[in-house]
Amino acid sequence: MRWSVATVAETVPQSAEVVSLYLDVVDWPGHLAGQHVDVRLTAQDGYSAQRSYSIASPPGAERLELTVARLDDGEVSPYLTTDLDVGDQLEVRGPIGGYFVWDAADTRPVLLVGGGLGVVPLMAMLRLHAALNHDGAMRLVYSTRTRRQILYRDEFDRLDSERRAVTVTLTRDDDPDWSGRLGRVNRQLLCEAGWSPDVEPRCFVCGPTPFVEAVANALVALGHKPDNIKAERFGPTAGD
């Protein structure tokens, strides 16, 4: 798979540590909702480093959106989130990953469960669902630490509809103004904000490894078939 040159068209801060990069990619072949790309940075002396990032933009979007969290001890993310300016170029190749993808031809209910930055590939699914005005029903359960760290909050307000429900839960209550859910994603929340196993929803779970382990196990315990649960984990280092 060959590398393509991407030009930064816009950068948008999503929170204190998270930035969305909007890229113009020459000859982008298109992607499916849930896929990722490899990004390569090259220093003046030829040293290079690669990392993988999930695609937040839906298939068919004009620009490729990558949403990146700055890890202070990371090698690539500080450059992407801080140093990169509009007009700068970087190398990307993709799309990659043919499993953690939502097929819009599938009309079964969908449950998306995201932890922290794990919401990013789920955004591509939610946005595609909205763009298609899809007949099926999609529900997103999204957990993040604090209110200030909620990504895409304004967009959730716009996307939330009869067939698309977004539930946000905060795991650290630091805001007296927050009237939404509190606490980790557990069986009770998955029952209330998700689907009964009887309707056999397609489940997509993405987040840090302990989050995905806990949510996937909870879904299995609630009676969802393991075959219906697709997971994408990132470790403390793997999302760097």
Partner 1 sequence: MGIVNRGFRGRRSQAGAETVPPGQYLVNDFPVLTAGPTPLVDLDAWDFTVVDETGAQAARWTWSEFRALPAEDITTDIHCVTKWSKLSTRWRGVSVDTLLDGIETSTEYVVAFAAGDYTTNLPLADVIDGQAWVTFAYDGIDLEAEHGGPARLLVPHLYLWKSAKWVRGLRLLDEDEPGFWESLGYHNYGDPWREQRYWGD
Smallest separation (angstroms) from partner 1 to the CB of 226: 5
Minimal distance, residue 187 CB to partner 1, in Å: 14
Identity of the residue, 40 or 153, whose beta carbon is nearer to partner 1 in the bound complex: 40
Binder of partner 1 out of 51, 127, 139, 164 (CB under 8 A): 51
CA trace torsion 231, 219, 215, 146 (10° rounding): 120
Q: What SS3 string covers 77-135?
A: HHHHHHHCCCCCEEEEEEEECCCCCCCCCCCCCEEEEEEHHHHHHHHHHHHHHHHCCCC
Nearer to partner 1, 5 or 86 (CB): 5
Question: Which of 29, 30, 87, 98 is the binder for partner 1 (CB under 8 A)?
Answer: 98
Contact map string, positions 166 to 205, toward partner 1, x by CB under 8 A: ----------------------------------------
Q: Which is nearer to partner 1, 140 or 231 (CB)?
A: 231
- CA separation, residue 168 to residues 12, 171, 173, 216 (Å): 21, 10, 13, 18
3-state secondary structure of 3: coil
Closest contact distance (angstroms) between CB of 173 and partner 1 is 29
